[in-house]
Structure 1
Amino acid sequence: MSLLNHLNWRYATKRMTGEKVPQEKVDYILEATRLSASSMGLQPYTILVVEDTEVRKQIQKVAYNQPQIVEASHLLIFAAWDNVTEEQVDEYMRNIATVRNIPVESLADFKNSLMGSVVSRTQEQKYEWAARQTYIALGTALAAAAEQGVDATPMEGFDPAALDELLNLKEKGLRSVTLLPLGFRHVEADFLANAKKVRRNKEQLFVKVD
C-alpha cells in the first residue's frame, strides 16, 4: 500500500478492541517518531509511553472518560519542555558532536543561533514553541501508525494541569500537550469505522500563489 492508501484508511478511532499491538509495531511507530522533523533538531519534548492499565484508568478520569484511553493497547503522551535552557542546548551540542564525530567547539555558531532564536525568549514563549514542535512529532506518529495498520487517535480533550499533576510532570520540567492512544478499531462499536473519509477538496485547500 502507498502512503496515500494508508492515510485514507486511518481516522480518529472512537472505540478500540483492547487487543495488544505487537511490540515490533509499537517500536516502529516510536522510532519513526524519534526520527521526526524538529526545528533545529532539538526535539524539546518527551514522549511518555503508558501501557499499564491502572495508570491509563487514572488518566481516563482527567480525559473526560474517553474510552480509547483504556481500550487502547498503548497511550503516548506528548509532553513539551516547560523551559528551554542553555544546559539542554549544551547537551544537544555534545550529542551532535558525538554522533558526527566532530569537535563540539565547531558548533559554536549553531549554538549561538539556537540561543538567540529560542533560549532568549520568555519561559512561556519557549514552552509555546516547544509545544508546537510536539505536533510535528504527532503527525509523524500518526502516519507511521497508519502504515503499520495500527489505529491512533490524536487527543487534546483532557485537563493538562490535572494530567501533569497525576504524572508529576512539573517536577520533570514537562507539560502535557497531546495524547495518542494506539490500538485496533472496534468496527461494531465505532460508528465511524465504515464511514467515508471527509476532507476539503484540493481546490479549496491549496491556493497557488503566482
Structure 2
Amino acid sequence: MENILMNVLDFSHACEIFDNTKKISDDDINFILKAGKKSTSSFGMKPWKFLVISNDELKTKISPLCSEEISISSSSHLVIFLAAIESINSESQSSNSKSVKKGSPADKLEFYTGVFPNHPEDSCHSNENMYSWPARQTYLSAGNMMTAAAIKGIDSCPIESYEKENIEEVLGLDTSKFQIACLLPFGYRLNEQSSADKESLDDSIEFIK
C-alpha cells in the first residue's frame, strides 16, 4: 500500500497544459468529486461548494482572468472551490454543530456544545477573516481531489493567480454567500512530467524529539 501511494504522488504534478482532445468520464470526475466531499475539515463544517465547469466557452472566458493559464482552457473539467461565507453565521453554526456531534463520544459533547458554535465567529472578526477561514478549509478537499485524480491517471494544476472579483462577476456569484478560494483544472497531460526530484526531504522536514 505504501508503494501504491508513493507511485500516485510521484505521478501527480502541476500540469501546465492538458490534451484538450481527451475528456474525463462521468464516473471518474464523480470519483474525484466524492473524494473532495468526503474530506475532513475543522469541526467537520465543510464550508465549501464546488463548481464543476466543462463548458469550453466558459473556460475560455475565465482563462484570461487567470494570467492566461492554458491549463484552464485546455482542461477537461475546471473545478472552482468556493468558500461558503454563509456557513459562518450563527444559524449555520448551530446546524453544523449538531452534525458534528452526531456519534461523538459523550465526553466530547460538552466541548462541541460550548465551543463549536462560537469558534468560527470568534476567529472571523473582520471581512477578511470571514473569507479566509472557510477558504483555508477548501484546500483540504482540493488535496484529496488531486490525489484521487492521480489514482485514475488524471492530472491537475492548482491555480491561485486569478482575478477573484472579475471571475465572481462572470459566474454571477452572490459573494455574501460564496467567494472563490481556488481553481483546480483537471485533464490528461499533453507532455511528460519533468524529472524534478521529489525524493529529497531534508529542506522541508524537521524532526523535534
Post-superposition offset of 1:141: 1.0
Give the equivalent residue in structure 1 for 2:12: 10
Give the equivalent residue in structure 2 for 1:117: 119
Post-superposition offset of 1:96: 5.3
Give the equivalent residue in structure 1 for 2:194: 195
Indicate the SS of the match to 1:207.
coil
Post-superposition Cα deviations, 1:41-73, rounded to whole Å, max 9, x if no partner, equal 101111111111111111112112211112111
Indicate the SS of the match to 1:17.
coil
The correspondence of residues 52-67 of structure 1 with structure 2, limited to 5 A, is: 52-67=55-70
- Structure 1 length-normalised TM: 0.85
Whether 2:72 is the aligned partner of 1:69: answer yes
Post-superposition offset of 1:95: 4.6
* Letter in structure 2 aligned against 1:37: T
Alpha-carbon spacing, 1:171–1:202, altered in 2? closer, same or farther (3 Å):
closer
Indicate the SS of the match to 2:36.
helix
Structure-1 separation of matches of 2:207 and 2:17 = 39
Return 5+ residue gaps in structure 1 as ranges: 188-192
Contact 2:9–2:147 (CA under 8 A) maintained in structure 1: yes
Counterpart of 2:140 (choices 131, 136, 139) is 136
Give the equivalent residue in structure 1 for 2:81: 78
Give the equivalent residue in structure 2 for 1:176: 180
Structure-1 separation of matches of 2:156 and 2:193 = 16
Structure-1 separation of matches of 2:203 and 2:176 = 43
Give the equivalent residue in structure 2 for 1:190: none
Post-superposition offset of 1:180: 0.6
Alpha-carbon spacing, 1:122–1:108, altered in 2? closer, same or farther (3 Å):
farther
Structure-1 separation of matches of 2:150 and 2:189 = 12
Indicate the SS of the match to 2:83.
strand
* Letter in structure 2 aligned against 1:60: S
* Letter in structure 2 aligned against 1:78: F
Contact 2:19–2:75 (CA under 8 A) maintained in structure 1: yes
Post-superposition offset of 1:107: 6.0
Indicate the SS of the match to 2:115.
helix
How many residue pairs get aligned? The number is: 200
Structure-2 separation of matches of 1:112 and 1:169 = 33
Return 5+ residue gaps in structure 2 as ranges: none
**Greater mean deviation of Cα atoms: 200-209 or 9-18:** 200-209
Structure-1 separation of matches of 2:176 and 2:190 = 35
Post-superposition offset of 1:81: 2.2
Matched residues, percent identical?
25
Structure-2 separation of matches of 1:5 and 1:91 = 40
* Letter in structure 1 aligned against 2:177: G
Indicate the SS of the match to 1:170.
coil
Post-superposition offset of 1:174: 1.1
